[in-house]
Amino acid sequence: MAERSPGNLLTLAVLSCLAERPMHPYEISQTLRQRGKDHSIKLNYGALYGVVDKLAAAGLIEAVETVRQGRRPERTVYAITDAGLAKHDGWLAELLRTPKREFAAFEAGLALAGGLAPDQVASLLDERVVRLRVELASVEESERIAQEMGVPEVFVVEAAYRLALLRAELTFTSELRDKIRDGTLGGLAGWRRLHELLDGGMSMEEIFRDPTKHLGEDGRVFLPQGQSSG
């Protein structure tokens, strides 16, 4: 049976660090930041301590010593256990093996975009395109610097994945904006009509009481299943 991946990916990141050698939580945090893993995994120092406590309680890591440097507070050093190493390997394999349905914020926005007028949505997509280009340029620059420094590709492969996603999203967003503006997006007439009626004072409830009457054929999608327009 495949190992279920952890709900909190910081859990796997902690185990990954401790699979290298024993560390205290602050060192784990610094290691992840220095390697740029905080760009791929949400890293919060307070949350990291909670993850460490849960892993220790589950027997996946164990405290091996307490150290102190100068006047700094004592820090507990943890090591991964055999059970923790097995869990790490199983979780990581499952993440790489199995595509997981992720509910992205942009996808949710697209699903509900009809609540705004088409021209407004096109303008908002314009803004998104600008921001995507800025982010894309930043990631490309980081990748260029890594190449100049001779960092092996395998250690920054997540950046290549991020670039692929950004380029795909930029293309999709630009094309969607253009289809709204040039009138080639399917259902656009009904979408425009909906907001014309709303701007004219008609309520959403009244419009959807008889959607085909008010929105034409594009309104059929709002009819209850099995019901035809009168």
Please give the Cα distance from 123 to 89 (Å, whole number): 46
Q: Which residues pair with residue 63 across a beta bridge? A: 78
Look up the pTM and report it. 0.82
Phi and psi (nearest 5°) for 23? Answer: -145, 160
| Close Cβ partners of 7 (under 8 Å, ≥ 6 residues apart) | none
Phi and psi (nearest 5°) for 187? Answer: 85, 5
Mean pLDDT of 115-131: 98
Q: For residue 224, is pLDDT > 90?
A: no
Inter-residue contact 10 to 42 (CB < 8 Å): yes
> Residue 225: which pLDDT band, with cuts at 50, 70 and 90?
low
DSSP symbol at 203: -
Please give the Cα distance from 223 to 27 (Å, whole number): 58
3-class SS of residue 189: helix
Mean pLDDT of 15-35: 96
Kind and range of the H or E run holding 65: strand 61-67
Two tokens at 217? 């054929």
Phi and psi (nearest 5°) for 62? Answer: -145, 145
Q: Which residues of 147-156 are buried (b: 16+ CB within 10 A; e: fewer)?
A: eeeeeeeeeb
Q: For residue 70, is pLDDT > 90?
A: no
Q: For residue 187, is pLDDT > 80?
A: yes
